[in-house]
Amino acid sequence: MTQINIITVGKLKEQYLKDACSEYVKRLGTFCRINVSEIAESRVSLDPSQNEIKLALENEGKQILSLIKPKSYTFSLCIEGSQMASENLADKLCEITLRGTSVINFIIGSSHGLAKSVKDKSDYRLSMSEMTFPHQLARVMLIEQIYRAYTIINNKKYHK
């Protein structure tokens, strides 16, 4: 069974977002093993300089990279990444597992993004949309899309 790791910077604060994530994680248990790892967001001043942001991202990046196992496949969510339809994500997940990779990582950075080192380590840079969403909502949207992909792969009625 495929292991899906969601590595995210920061914790969910709102209960309704926690509830939504928990529901999709529970549903995904039918299709894969899923683990969500939260790392602490590096604190920056209210009006941080570019250097302060870079240092914070590098600190977060070291923590993220320490959680990525060798021979796993890694998606980094970043604005400059490529967008894909739900069906294409399903196809990509199938392709990855058919190549023999059993661990897939999805990385969500802080509101400042991801360190270059994390993006460089990634196999695929994924953008969820050109629109801007609340940072904490990204986790719910990602887990829902992973669930949707697995329902597509398994010919379930969820995806319309």
Q: How far apart are alpha carbons 72 and 20 in whole angstroms? A: 27
**What's the confidence (pLDDT) of residue 90?**
98
| Mean pLDDT of the chain, nearest integer | 96
Q: Over the stretch 73-127, which tens digit does the pLDDT of each residue have?
A: 999 999 999 999 999 999 999 999 999 999 999 999 999 999 999 999 999 999 9
Residue whose tokens read 């093993």: 33
**What's the confidence (pLDDT) of residue 132?**
85
Six token digits for residue 126? 């994924």
Domain 3-153 has CATH 3.40.1280.10: yes
**What's the confidence (pLDDT) of residue 25?**
97
CB 72 within 8 A of CB 99: no
Beta partners for residue 131, in sequence order: none
pLDDT band at 160 (very low <50, low <70, confident <90, very high): low
pLDDT band at 159 (very low <50, low <70, confident <90, very high): low
Q: Over the stretch 121-152, which tens digit does the pLDDT of each residue have?
A: 999 999 999 998 888 899 999 999 999 999 99
Query: Pairing state of beta strands 33-39 and 73-82?
Result: unpaired
Residue 142's CB is within 10 A of a number of other CB atoms, namely 21
Tell me the torsion sign for CA atoms 108, 109, 112, 117: negative
Cα dist from 64 to 8, 9, 39, 107, 128, whole Å = 8, 8, 8, 8, 20
